[in-house]
A and B are shown apart, each in its own frame.
Chain A
Amino acid sequence: MATFMIYSSKEKQALELITAAKSVGAAAVKAVCINDEAQANALAAAGAEVLLINNDAISLADVAAVASALGQVAAQLGADTILLSSDRRGKEAAGRLAAILDAGCLTDISAIKANGDKIECQRNALGGATVATQYIASDKKIIAIRPKTFDAPGAGSGSVNAMTVDVKASAVKLIETKTRGGDSVDIEAAEALVVVGQGLNSKDDLPAVEALAKKLGGEVACSKPVATDKKWLSEERIVGLSGKKCKPELAIILGISGQVQFTVGIRDAKVIVAVNSDENATINGMADYILTADMHDVIKEMNSSL
């Protein structure tokens, strides 16, 4: 029987990983928390056997130190199946930990399923054009799962135990941290997204788009050219392969043809509405509701009727 261990620096994602481990048959889930007692308590309340490391030498910005600590804990616990969150640092930790433990590694996983003693994982391949199903054949497995793939687990009774690890002096030094200026929107967290593309005539049309997003209780997002070429919106709002991958309840896609580089970022939305002046636009093939009309008229009409 596999011994499961999970880690994420973020509480919400760590909770999701507990559910993930249980979904593939983990009887007990061991969770690692680093310098975060609040997270340790939350994970224990969700039934995890938490190992809390308090060590000021480990900075979360230094993924090498995090991976080294995780490697030591995994060795002590005899953990062979390690689940991490597939965010930027989680993916780096996955690679580093795989090297430390000589384990097989898969990242960007969007679904997992137990099949006998294998854990079958799905992830996008070929730039999102296909979905590959893969499993790790080695004894030790590291799987980084995309945030929001699983829900938080129900309450359980776990435990928190302290653990100590030795971490080498870091080769990476944090000189300063600055808060990022400008747009701090989190389109991945939005319940509704109004996504605009190159069909948008001018920057002057944006206030109406923003008004619509607000009415729907969501945010404005865009395809890449709107942010990088036209610079009408910040790069924080890009949906797609080189932007964010979003799973809102509702996505209203306005004036976007639907190339795979874009659709990979929105195809997990619950309900997709495509508004395009071209009735043969590719985007219509992946929409729940298709409206062939000028997006500007649609925005105006929706704003006045909602």
Chain B
Amino acid sequence: MEVTLPAVVTVLSDINEARIPSVTQILKAGKKPKEVLELDEVGVKIPPAASVVTVSNLAPETERKRIVVKSVAELIQSLTTEGVIGR
């Protein structure tokens, strides 16, 4: 693919090995000068209200049987009863 500029390109996480900074480099970076801009200085407007509302965010319910089987023979028997093998 080829794209005319300006362009936005998203890449997958495995595109390359990221350079991991050392602890001293991270500490050094913290001392570099920073300039803080307000949103209106850069002309960015955030929409007044979020368009997506979260009703709940819970751990998924697992409704699994959790039957402990003792042997392969017992397992095969159970799976045959479930109708998932020997189709």
* Residues of A that sit less than 8 Å from B by CB: 61, 103-106, 120, 125-126, 129-138, 171-175, 191-192, 216-217, 228, 242, 249-250, 267, 270-273, 284-293, 298, 301-302, 305-306
Contacts and interface: CB of A to CB of B under 8 A. Distances in A.
B3 A216 contact: no
Contacts of A136: 51-53
Given A137-B51, A267-B60, A175 B75 contact: no
Given A267-B60, A267-B62, A292 B68 contact: yes
B39 interface: no
Size class of the contact patch on chain B: 35 or more
B55 interface: yes
* Interface of chain A, main secondary structure: mixed
B59 A249 contact: no
A172 B76 contact: no
B60 A130 contact: yes
Interface in B38-61: 49-60
B1 A175 contact: yes
B84 A270 contact: yes
A120 B53 CA distance: 10
Contacts of A284: 66
Contacts of B13: 242
Contact of B53 (A135, A175, A242, A302): A135
Contacts of B70: 291
B72 A130 contact: no
Given A173-B2, A250-B79, A273-B79, A288 B66 contact: yes
Contacts of A106: 52
Given A271-B82, A292-B68, 11 more contacts: A125-B57, A132-B57, A134-B54, A136-B53, A172-B3, A173-B2, A216-B85, A289-B65, A289-B78, A291-B70, A306-B85
Nearest to A171: B4
Nearest to A272: B64
